Amino acid sequence: MIRTYFKTDFSKDLSLWQIEKNWFYSTSSNIPGNSGLLAYSVLLNASTTTIDFATVRRSFTNLPSDARIGFWYYVYGPGGILNVKANGTLLGSISGFGKGYVSYEFKGGANVEIIFEAVLRQTQSIYISHVTIHPL
Amino acid sequence: MKIFRFNIFNRFSAQFGKVLPGMVAVVLFSACDKTIPGAPTDPATLARLKPIASFTQSSDSIETGQTVIFTNTSERKPTELIWRFPGGTPTTSTEQSPQVRYNQIGSYDVSLKATNSFGADSIIKKG
């Protein structure tokens, strides 16, 4: 038996993700386990006071029926929210200051779009890195 | 073989004194191995049995796009190997140590059929 998993390397596969607004590659060392490399961040202009959304998404084919997505995150700013969705279904939300590793189970299938959605206001940063998808 | 005879001779001599011409030493060995009672152990018999299929792999978990090396460890000298790697590339092989790439996330079966002139045995590791 062999188990295979997906793992991002944003320094190499950034072009495979569809970016909407302000997500870009960073070498921030704010994410635990990141060792200062491979972070990916979203930043909002400090002067913006309205709520803004920024997403980064990627479609996966032939995922196992039951899967788990995991990643490291860092949310800077009291009002920041990071939503994680699979085909539009919310898997989980992270809000406010914090950093760490989370994982969520989700239903796979032939075509699954994974979306990281940052909800931001004022001066905030949200980082993600080391996104992995494993079969359960 | 000469060393073995020398040791036996010395041991016999130490216990019973001088060994004279014409004396015959009978040495009995007790079997104390870990084989199944009644199972054949002599090489001649084992050589006339079907294989026992087995294999090892270089990793149990890999990133998509990477490869795993499977190695045949079957006993009793199989003369033919048939590997099956559903979901991998290649999907089949007859090599001793095939290298297989997996491009999709998942859990995959691996099977090996080992054959010699006395029969065949198969093993499957379920994904």
β pairing state of A81-86 and A23-26:
unpaired
Interface of B with A (CB under 8 A): 57, 59-64, 66, 68, 88, 100, 102, 104-110, 125-127
Split into its structural domains, chain A has a count of: 1
Q: Do A2 and B64 touch (CB under 8 A)?
A: no
Please answer whether residues A75 and A94 qualify as being in contact, where contact means their C-beta atoms are separated by less than 8 angstroms: yes
Please answer whether residues A9 and A38 qualify as being in contact, where contact means their C-beta atoms are separated by less than 8 angstroms: yes
Residue with the bigger pLDDT between A27 and B119: it is B119
Q: Domain range spanning residue A44?
A: 6-135
The answer to whether residue A38 scores a pLDDT higher than 90 is no
Q: Which residue of A has its CA nearest to B107?
A: A3
CA distances from B126 to B26, B62, B112 (A): 53, 16, 12
DSSP alpha helix (H) spans, A1-136: 10-13
> Can you give B77-112 as a three-state secondary structure string?
CCCEEEEECCCEECCEECCCCCEEEECCCEEECEEE
What is the average pLDDT across B70-89?
97
Q: Which residue of B has its CA nearest to A132?
A: B63
Alpha carbon distance A16, A5 (integer Å): 17
Q: Which of A3, A67, A135 sits opposite B60 (nearest CB)?
A: A3
* Tens-digit pLDDT profile for residues B90-103: 999 999 999 999 99
How many Cβ pairs closer than 8 A exist between chain A and B? Answer: 66
A1 domain residue, yes or no: no
A85 domain residue, yes or no: yes
Domain CATH for A131: 2.60.120.200
Q: Do B61 and A2 touch (CB under 8 A)?
A: yes
Backbone angles phi, psi at B66, to 5 degrees: -90, 175
Mean predicted lDDT score pLDDT of chain A? 81
Count CB-CB contacts under 10 A for residue A4: 27
Tell me the domain boundaries of chain B. Answer: 43-125
A105 domain residue, yes or no: yes
Q: What is the pLDDT of residue B78?
A: 96
Q: What is the pLDDT of residue B95?
A: 98
Q: Is pTM, for the whole model, over 0.90?
A: no
What is the average pLDDT across A83-102?
92
Reported ipTM exceeds the 0.95 cut: no
Q: What is the pLDDT of residue B2?
A: 39
List, in order, residues 6 or more apart from A37 with CB less than 8 Å away. A11, A27
The tokens describing A130, both together, are 């080391």
Alpha carbon distance B44, B121 (integer Å): 20
* Tens-digit pLDDT profile for residues B12-51: 344 444 445 555 444 443 444 445 666 667 666 766 799 9
How close, in Å, is residue A57 to chain B by CA atoms?
18
Q: Which CATH architecture has domain B43-125?
A: Sandwich (2.60)
* Tens-digit pLDDT profile for residues A46-89: 455 667 778 889 999 999 999 999 998 888 777 778 999 999 99
Alpha carbon distance B127, B120 (integer Å): 23
